[in-house]
């Protein structure tokens, strides 16, 4: 039987600091009702530590879940668009911290589609025989790039990390088919320049240039079409139909996007997992975090057909069809936690508010 890449371990890291819609009401002209109606989000979490710290904890939890020692890994891949530094990679730092001494390591950036793109790479490595055990992490510290007086962007995003261990399987479980796509011509709809090399070296960044640029209406239309079309293609490649799907785990971009795309596919809400209300859009971290939550909620059973589908900056999109294996309960649990903090969300956001203040000089002062 064909060798496939099967998920045998999963884990997530949710930062401890909450940013509620009520908090956002203090920073901008918005309301809890307005945000929920347009996004389905009530709350999002902010990280007081770096992206690598989030990735490391999610990785350790996934390894414990799989009952695997890090030294047994062949490869560590981290999907992120918010690394704290460009070199070394987040993956290399995670590889060192967890003791994956026999593994290669690299980062992958496909924005919110990062975990789907990463899964395609992992599946190819395992199916080819180049790797047998791979750790894939999605991790983001998105609040770094947010202007928290801009209600069109900052209401959407949160921080976090999720991870999965993939192993070679010969029993039919694992990744069945992959669909990836991109349209670089529409890349201007979502831009984060903060960590790029564009322009001259400078001691300061221009807040008008370096904040997240996000064209909400354009993104919505592209996302709904991209997700639905990609899911149809991946099912066709796997020899399946929408009736065969037991669960869709979409990128948690926006509740309206998820609802519109899955309705276009003819998939009822009972077969879609959504956890965006309390976590917001965590980009590459959203699907692995949702996988962990879906398993904890008992939404995945052995042998289930699961579809992962995402859309992100670039623009990129992609879908994975996979058959779940026998394991739906963790082999072990990692007890570590992030270091505690007494900071509130508004404490964490003070550097952002100060940096972007010149853009809002004519607006009423922050509460």
Residues marked active site are found at 112, 251, 281
DSSP structure string for 90-110? HHHHHHHHHT-TT-EEEEE--
Q: Are 334 and 61 in contact (CB under 8 A)?
A: yes
Torsion of CA 78, 211, 147, 314, to 10 degrees: -50
Cα 242 from chain centroid (whole Å): 24
| The dihedral sign for the CA sequence 97, 103, 107, 111 | negative
Dmax (CA) for the chain in angstroms is 66
Cα separation, 283 vs 308, whole angstroms: 14
Q: Name all contacts of 85-88 with Cβ < 8 Å and 24+ positions apart.
A: 86/195
Cα separation, 342 vs 187, whole angstroms: 38
CB atoms within 10 A of CB 57: 26
CA R_g for the chain: 20
What tokens were used for 118? 């990463």
DSSP structure string for 139-162? EE-GGGG--TT-TTTTTTB--EEE
Q: Give the β-pairing of 213-214 and 190-191.
A: antiparallel
The number of CA neighbours under 13 Å toward the Cβ of 292 is: 27
Nearest alpha carbon to residue 118 among 157, 182, 163, 61: 163
Residue 259 burial by Cβ neighbours in a 10 Å radius (0-12, 13-18, 19+) = middle
């Amino acid at each position: 039987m064909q060798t496939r890449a099967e998920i045998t371990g999963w884990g997530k890291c949710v930062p401890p600091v909450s940013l509620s819609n009520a908090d956002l009401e203090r920073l901008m002209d918005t309301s809890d009702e307005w945000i929920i109606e347009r996004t389905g989000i009530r709350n999002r979490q902010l990280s007081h530590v770096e992206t690598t710290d989030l990735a490391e904890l999610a990785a350790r939890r996934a390894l414990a879940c799989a009952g695997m020692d890090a030294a047994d890994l062949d490869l560590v891949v981290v999907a992120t668009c918010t690394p704290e530094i460009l070199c070394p990679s987040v993956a290399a730092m995670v590889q060192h911290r967890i003791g994956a001494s026999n593994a290669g390591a690299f980062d992958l950036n496909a924005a919110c589609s990062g975990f789907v793109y990463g899964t395609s790479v992992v599946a190819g490595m395992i199916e080819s025989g180049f790797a047998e055990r791979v750790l894939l992490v999605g991790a983001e510290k998105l609040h770094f790039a947010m202007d928290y007086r801009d209600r069109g962007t900052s209401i959407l995003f949160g921080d976090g990390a999720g991870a999965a261990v993939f192993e070679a399987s010969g029993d039919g479980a694992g990744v069945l088919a992959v669909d990836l796509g991109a349209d670089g011509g529409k890349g201007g709809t979502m831009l984060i320049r903060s960590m790029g090399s564009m322009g001259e070296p400078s001691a300061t960044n221009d807040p008008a240039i370096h904040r997240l640029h996000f064209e909400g209406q354009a993104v919505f239309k592209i996302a709904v079409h991209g997700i639905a079309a990609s899911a149809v293609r991946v099912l066709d490649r796997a020899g399946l139909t929408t009736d065969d799907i037991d669960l869709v785990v979409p990128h948690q971009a926006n509740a309206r996007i998820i609802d519109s795309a899955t309705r276009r596919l003819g998939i009822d809400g009972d077969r879609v997992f959504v956890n965006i209300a309390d976590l917001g859009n965590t980009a590459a971290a959203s699907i692995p975090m949702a996988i962990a939550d879906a398993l904890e909620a008992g939404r995945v059973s052995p042998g289930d057909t699961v579809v992962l589908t995402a859309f992100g900056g670039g623009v990129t999109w992609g879908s994975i069809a996979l058959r779940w294996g026998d394991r739906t309960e963790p082999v072990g649990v990692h007890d570590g936690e992030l270091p505690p903090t007494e900071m509130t969300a508004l404490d964490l956001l003070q550097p952002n508010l100060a940096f972007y203040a010149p853009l809002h000089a004519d607006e009423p002062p922050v509460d």
